[in-house]
Amino acid sequence: AVLTGLDVLLRDHLSSLRGRAIGLLSHQASVNHRLEHAATLLADARGVRLARLFAPEHGIWGAPQDHATIANERDPVTGLPVISLYGATREPTPP
């Protein structure tokens, strides 16, 4: 089987994420070799605290249209907050 970087991360390096608050920047193609999305895999990984998702232009799941301003929201799949990198705020904000 051809493994993706996500497969290798989960297989060989998951221990480096355990016990940490993790933010994930991903889009619809952030999948493993079974086409399972990184957000759901990391949210379900034991000992990993996926704290926030960061969304590019078309969002985490690829639904928004080109050049649409995307608001921050709560992800319907994981329940995590999603911070839009393509929203009204274009600079870092305090945590």
* pLDDT value at residue 65: 64
* Tens digits of pLDDT across the chain (95 residues): 789 999 999 999 999 999 999 999 998 899 999 999 999 999 999 999 999 999 887 778 876 666 666 778 899 999 999 988 877 776 777 76
CB 42 within 8 A of CB 50: yes
Domain residue extents for the chain: 5-84
Q: In this predicted structure, what is the pLDDT of residue 38?
A: 96
Phi, psi of 31 (to 5 degrees): -130, 165
Query: ∠ CA 63-49-25 to the nearest 5 degrees?
Result: 35
User: Would you state the pLDDT for residue 95?
Assistant: 65
Helix (H) or strand (E) run with residue 6 in it: helix 5-12
Q: Is the dihedral of CA 3, 4, 5, 10 positive or negative?
A: negative
